[in-house]
A and B are shown apart, each in its own frame.
Chain A
Amino acid sequence: MTRTRLTLTSVVTQVFLVLLTLLFLAPVVWAFLSAFKPANQIISDPLGFDPSQITLDNFERMFQDVPIVRGFVNTGIVLVLKGGLTLFFAPLAAYGFAKYEFPFKDLLFGTVLITLMLPTIVLIIPLLLEMKELGWVNTYQALILPGAIDAFAIFWMRQVIAAVPDELLDAARVDGCSEFGIFARIVLPVIKPALAGLAVLTVMNIYNDFVWPVVIASSERMSTLQVVLSSLAQNITGNRIGADYATVTGELLAAASIALVPLLLIFIVLQKHFINGILAGSVKG
């Protein structure tokens, strides 16, 4: 009796999950397959797929039209530097907030929380003018520094580090460890799983960020991958007037398919760390 009920439940569970998975994956699969269709058919017959008509035209045209390789290189550079800054300095600041007392700490942390809630676009224009004054328009530092060490990372890491027992830190102190040494040798190893989670999340955020890069990287030389993608997407609306938006849609889907691959690979390889990291770093129930 219990047994049959269990089986029934698990069948229902599986059906529910499989259906949901289909819904979740279908759009991505559609984009992927469409990228290999002749451009005009993406518009005229969006749901059809004729394997005999598979073509690489969209990819060829896309590589010709937009600097996607440049985009990959720039995104890679920003990813490493900005990601590195966040992954080192966010836990460090979080450690300061979690394990020390100092004047105005709560006020400062409160401001951190408020930044967390600010829409990015609020600061776009002033930041842009600031970059102009600094002479940083179209530079890597402009892509990297604003928004590096982001507030969410500090908020999350503080949560994680607060859970590290004080006894552990005091023991290290007695051992003569410097304050930074405690962070590097005791705290970092303990929070490694959460840090892995933060790493994946940071990579995703930086990889997919497009509002600020679009504004600040106006030259082709500095375009990140998302800037390239958004220039294609914008041109679909633009080209409705210039007529050939089927071609551009084809190019966009080709570019998006390529852009998806590295992230998906990173994600599949690191998914255990990411999920465990979030598990390790989350607010306890």
Chain B
Amino acid sequence: MTTAVATRPAGRVSPSRRRPHTASSRRRLAPYAFVFPFVALFVAFSVYPMLFTLQLSFTDWRGSGAAHWVGLGNYTYLLQNPAFWSSLGNSAAMWALIVPVQMVLALAIAVLLDNAKTRMRSFYRVAFLVPFVTPLVAVAQIWVVVFDQKYGAVNSVLNAVGLPDVGWLVTSQWAKPTLALLFLWKTTGFIVIILLSGLQAIDPAVYEASSIDGASRLRQLRSMTIPLVRRTLLFSVVLQTLAIFQMFAEPFVVTQGGPYSSTTTAGLYLYNHITRADLGTGAANSFLLVIIVTVLSLGFVRLLRSED
């Protein structure tokens, strides 16, 4: 519709002079049209179900028959239930196990892959991203076999170097790290790419200047690289924090939340109400999570802002 206008440079003065009003009203209306498709879907498939969840959370509905109003009953049941708190604790523990390790590891790989002297860089980029594209349900099976206490490959290696067996998936102290490893394995490649993008945005001149100063590689890394990719790092942390808080599929397929509920994450705990058709409690649980996530995310938004 604008073809004619755009290919008519000679005539550009007159129409734009003739239509200042139309152009500006169009400009006023345009953003509404642009965000509308998104807002429509958003209202229909996010806002509406959320309101519905809110309503459900005050009932004892079990998926069929009549629902009874139970007031805040579901909320008090959850808030007084140690299992609810331990599901949050498990998610927090997963965060602590994953995020620091992943950031260090991903940054190390990214720095190496950013270095033009490293060979086969594009091969490595692909190799590290392969786990990211592997279907999780298959990976879970692999984890079960590889981390078997007595006959898994991992313990065989440990034995070979004289270390004792570890009950990876069968003890409550090791099950979390084992799941954390799965998460690390699956997502580190993606974080590497994100960090790499931050690194490549650094002006090479900065490094050249410091090389002339005779700064060692390690010092360069600490005093220049890290501060310069700080925002990218923070972005990755936020991304992973959200992913870990929502983590559900990994424990669901590998440990079913065990042993002793030690891997029942916040997401899995919520899911368990749903599978037991306890939809009212599930809804209340959802809302408690929404509140927590909102607070967390407001905190992060503030953190990101303060970095500006």
A/B: CB atoms within 8 Å of each other? yes
Name the contact of B31 in the complex, choosing from A100, A123, A125, A174 (C-beta under 8 A): A100
CB-based contact A282/B194 at 8 Å: yes
Contacts of A191 in B (CB 8 A): none
Q: Is the interface of B mostly helix, strand, loop or mixed?
A: helix
A115 at the binding interface (Cβ < 8 Å): yes
| Residue B30, interface by CB 8 Å | yes
**Distance in Å: Cβ of B38 to nearest Cβ of chain A:** 4
Number of chain B interface residues as a range:
35 or more
B1 partner, pick from A9, A149, A181, beta carbons under 8 A: A181
A125-B279, A127-B49, A174-B12 given as contacts; is B199 within 8 A of A285 (CB)? yes
User: A278 to chain B: which residues have CB within 8 Å?
Assistant: 193-194, 197
Q: How far is the CB of B51 from chain A (nearest CB, A)?
A: 8
Interface string of B196-216 (1 = CB under 8 A from A): 111111100000000000000
CB of A89 within 8 A of CB of B133, answer no
A260 is an interface residue with CB less than 8 A from chain B: yes
A-side interface residues toward B, CB under 8 Å?
6, 9-10, 13-14, 16-17, 20-21, 23-25, 27-28, 30-31, 42, 46-47, 89-90, 92-93, 95-97, 100-102, 105, 108, 111-127, 129-130, 145-149, 154, 172-181, 183, 185, 204, 208, 210-211, 226, 229-230, 232-233, 236-237, 249, 252-253, 255-257, 259-260, 263-264, 267-268, 271-272, 274-275, 278-285
Known: A115-B42, A259-B135. 15 other contacts (CB 8 A): A10-B118, A14-B118, A21-B124, A27-B143, A92-B34, A100-B31, A101-B31, A123-B286, A126-B283, A175-B9, A178-B26, A179-B26, A183-B34, A226-B135, A233-B138
24 A-B pairs with CB atoms under 8 Å apart are: A25-B127, A27-B146, A31-B134, A42-B145, A46-B151, A47-B156, A90-B38, A96-B31, A97-B31, A116-B297, A119-B289, A126-B48, A126-B49, A130-B44, A176-B12, A253-B138, A256-B137, A271-B126, A274-B193, A275-B193, A278-B197, A279-B193, A282-B232, A285-B231
